[in-house]
Chain A
């Protein structure tokens, strides 16, 4: 069978089960687009390549699969970098195809030539430049394999124009075999035995879960472990939904904007059972004092995450799901004693922390952003997929929307990319057409990828954008208020578009609430209006996110309301 590179690519995409691609065409990828249009793969034409990558990210997270992008060389490729870097930090499986100038022009400073493999080397799990059509099929297979196995991540494949045009005799590639890449999935049993002993001995244990639990599809196993052992659970921002947010054992999120009880429990526990986390500085604060009374267990598939920031008592390298399954199995025959009695003092202490310092705000004359999120939670019965922008809006969404299920909270955690939420919502909506998908946004962030409203309208995707409009780059303003004597240098958005009219200009619907009593009706109207909707909530301008741990301080030193 004689096939061109473009035909081979589409064939391989179908074999990988790709149903949706996010992209933007250009000169060197026309041949690929030409073939793509003949296939039944759905192509979503975004309005900016950054949007394509965030959309693929949202799609990957909501579907639990791999997100795929296709863009042109040069500026098309460089526009993907922020999206790729965000997916890399959050370990999201993506395959990004970039066009490249023909091989004979590489290195000549040709029109729209850029060394995208060089540029993205530090922010991809791996990347490839395909120099011969003969290598394309094998490379595509390896790219998908690398993206979704082990600790997932984005993989970039750069395809020169001549590689997609050239016709060759096609030979199907065999199964992927890479001598240099074999991630460890099964945990070491002896290490797990040590974990078991620590669980038995612990009096004040805490489970600490992260995005890895969601990525390895292990929330059920985690929940089972927590219930069996009656150990309370906290998660990172990326881990929200790995454990039910309405369960009595739920401590709330940990870290800089974590709950009082989560941070206090971490400081006072004697066993800190960490699963699928990487001890980011926004979690640990000052590392010397972090969980300093505890024996620390760290389960992760990526050995580099272990002992990178925090010394560990028992390291376990393995896939979270395999490891938790094995741990649950080992626990089956074990007598843990009278757990109700054994845990009571610890759980009582946690309850006391919760009662004295709950998450709180006061709704007076002006709309409080927290109130909007709380109402959104009520009206959607906690079932919506929430994407976020970055800043205060992101933290309020994390604190006041309670996630019972994984893959329902989609946020740019590690990189913190403003402009992530809207395209991510588009991707999530495509993966889950029957879900309500809401982007909880800030007035600053939403303007960074607002052009994707056109994508949502064109594809008739009913994403809902809830803007918590405080007229500020609120999170930066908060730091200025608290640590820079209220010197609000360049954080006041003195001019912003009329978001309602803007929605209408895009062919979407727009609503606005300016008073607390309008919040519920605007949310109801917005959520029930078909098609994409922007809801603009004019909120308290100088509200702060609490609790807050100043950067680098111990996480027990929380500023509270």
Chain B
């Protein structure tokens, strides 16, 4: 896709069964792409927030937003990209931790201000929160040491309030 930019959408939906499949079905059926998708209930138990990251050119992102709005269970679609917003993602990284590597891993953990949440004979599990870029950075540093497996949440985001 030429000039396809990253867009972060924040979508409020009715907290009902099937809503997620309506959204994912819309994307697959119309050939739109989903980079990541996070869903959880809001403070109002009848409303869930979906944070969806997609790549699309101008005409397509306009269609995506309109098509999402057209779904009956979708209450509101906000595009965060283009306005100030905070974005966070979390990753759990299970990294091989041979004795000769432990110090280096802990140094990295320190630099990135993340923490070790599980320790085994042969591994550490590290929890990292931050922007996508930060997560990518620590992953590339730990890669040479040997990453066993990871679990990433995908991006969640909110508008920044005016100061």
Contact = CB atoms under 8 A, between A and B. Distances in A.
Interface string B20-64: 011001000100000000000000000000000000000100110
B14 interface: yes
A185 to B, nearest CB: 15
Contact of B72 (A125, A302, A304): A125
Nearest to B67: A304
B90 to A, nearest CB: 29
Given A181-B72, A304-B63, 14 more contacts: A121-B18, A121-B21, A121-B22, A122-B25, A126-B72, A129-B18, A178-B72, A180-B14, A180-B72, A180-B73, A180-B75, A303-B66, A304-B66, A304-B70
A121 B73 CA distance: 12
Nearest to A306: B66
B129 to A, nearest CB: 31
A440 interface: no
Nearest to B22: A121
A452 to B, nearest CB: 31
Given A121-B25, A122-B25, A122-B29, A146 B72 contact: yes
A118 B21 contact: yes
Contacts of B74: 180
Contacts of B66: 303-304, 306
A179 interface: yes
B108 interface: no
B69 interface: yes
A178 B72 CA distance: 9
B9 to A, nearest CB: 15
A20 to B, nearest CB: 26
A228 interface: no
Contacts of A302: 70
Interface residues of B, number: 18
Contacts of A306: 66
A317 B14 CA distance: 25
Interface of A: 117-118, 121-122, 125-126, 129, 146, 178-181, 302-304, 306-308
14 contacts: A117-B18, A126-B72, A179-B75, A180-B14, A180-B72, A180-B73, A180-B74, A181-B72, A303-B66, A304-B66, A304-B67, A306-B66, A307-B59, A307-B62
Contacts of B25: 121-122
B69 A303 contact: yes
A117 B14 CA distance: 17
Nearest to A117: B18
Contacts of A125: 72
A55 to B, nearest CB: 26
Interface in B118-158: none
Contacts of B67: 304
A179 B63 CA distance: 22
Nearest to B73: A180
Contacts of A118: 21
4 closest cross-chain pairs (CB), A and B: A126-B72, A304-B66, A180-B75, A303-B66
Contacts of A307: 59, 62-63
A306 B66 CA distance: 10
A125 B70 CA distance: 9
Contacts of A129: 18
Interface string B66-82: 11011011110000000
A17 B49 CA distance: 38
A157 to B, nearest CB: 13
A214 B70 CA distance: 21
A301 to B, nearest CB: 11
Nearest to A305: B66
Nearest to B17: A129
A352 B62 CA distance: 41
Contacts of A146: 72
B27 to A, nearest CB: 11
B11 to A, nearest CB: 11
